[in-house]
Structure formats: C-alpha cells, structure tokens
Structure 1
Amino acid sequence: MSDETLAFKMQLKPGVVAEYKRRHDELWPDLAAALREAGIHDYWIFLDEDTLSLFAVLKRKPGAAFDALPRQPVMRRWWDYMADLMEVEPDNKPRQWPLTPLFHFN
C-alpha cells in the first residue's frame, strides 16, 4: 500500500505572515517527532499572499497513528500556540478545508 497524499486549506489573520513563518522555522522537536510517529512526511505549507490562505500538502504512511494526533498533548499545545495567528475551531484546532485532487503528474 502506498502513501496517501492529503491537501487542505487554512486561513491566516492579517499581519501575521512573518510570525507564522518564524514559529514554523522553530518547530518544536517533540512536535516534529509526533508528526513522524503519526506517519506524516513530506509536509509543505504554501501561502497565497493575496488572500492569506495557506495550502498544505502532506504524505502519510498507511496504518500509522494519524487519527490519534489531535489527542497528543504536544499537538494541543501547538494549536494553542498558533491560535492567535489563524482561523481556528473552538478547541483551537486550525480551521481546515479539504482540497480535492483533480490532477497529478508524476
């Protein structure tokens, strides 16, 4: 079974692009470890500067603990840490809109 590619959109608040990038440039080692343990790799986040929309693309390994990631304490702390920069759900999880794949060139 091959890796699954997921893509979704998130939304930044105005005036926070530099801070968002700084926080990700200093990604916590324990969060990086949790992402790897959840089977996530090759994770990209792109910014549309005109709309402040973030477009994320990641690969996840089959059978990994991906669904448990939102219950990880480090993930919850990261969401709380990032909540002032982006649109979030009541539990501070970033609001995400799934993106539908329409074309892939390999």
Structure 2
Amino acid sequence: MQHISFVLKIDPADFGAYKERHEHVYPELERRFGEVGIHSYHIFYHEGTLFAYMLVEDFDAAMAQLQNDPANVKWQQFMSDMLKAWEDGNMIKMIPRMYSYEK
C-alpha cells in the first residue's frame, strides 16, 4: 500500500466553486477509484494550494488506468478551468514522505 501526497494550485477566488464541485463528484468516478485500488483520497485547501493525500495499492498503475477512463476524462475537463500550472508547467507537485507513524 502506498501513501501518496501532492499539491495542486487554484486561484483563491475559485475556492467556493471548487468546494461546491467536490460536493458532487461523479459517482462513476468514485466507483472507478475503488476499482483501480484507491482506498482513500482526501483533498485539503490552504490559500490557493490544494493538498491531496491518497492511500492506494499502486499509484502509477491506478493513474494509468484512470488516464483514459471516460468518467475521469469528463471530471478532468470539468475541473480544468480552475487548476493552475506550477512554475515548471506541471499541474501537480509530488510531496515525498519524510516520516510515518502507524499503530
């Protein structure tokens, strides 16, 4: 199992709309998350930065399976007007794990 985290960027002016859209994530997309091995997926917001955390069996395999999935393509298109590229042109920045505690 992999613990994956990354950050994305939005304009703070879009916070309300971003939050509202995520109150209505497509059920077919959430179903696909489970099918590709995503056990949990959380997104947190702070001043224009979105921090995402995912517990997933195999991140690269899950992303490969979702890349052309119709529900994911539809969702990505729906969200594309809000997500901003980072300075390097990428939409996400992976965050390496520094410490873990599990009981």
Normalised by the size of structure 1, how large is the TM-score? 0.82
Aligned partners of 2:11, 2:34: CA distance in 1, in Å?
28
Which ranges of 4 or more aligned residues in structure 1 deviate by more than 4 Å?
Answer: 62-65
Question: Which residue in the other structure is 2:54 paired with?
Answer: 58
Aligned to 1:40: 38
**Deviation of the 1:64 alpha carbon:** 9.4
Percentage identity across aligned positions? 26
Aligned CA distance change for structure 1 residues 24 and 63 (closer, same or farther; 3 Å): closer
Structure 1 segment 1-106 matched on structure 2, within 5 A: 3-49=1-47, 52-62=48-58, 66=62, 67-87=64-84, 95-106=91-102
Larger proportion of helix = 2
Which residue identity is paired with 1:76? V
Distance 2:6 2:61 in 1: 19
Aligned residue identity for 2:100:
H
Amino acid at match of 1:72: D
C-alpha RMSD of matched pairs (Å): 2.2
**What is the total number of aligned residue pairs between the two structures?**
98
User: Could you say which structure has the higher strand fraction?
Assistant: 2
Residue 53 of structure 2: SS of its match in structure 1?
A: strand
Please give the TM-score of this superposition, normalised by the length of structure 2: 0.84
| 8 A contact 1:20–1:85 mirrored in 2 | yes
Q: Which structure 1 residue ranges, 5 or more long, are not aligned? A: 89-93
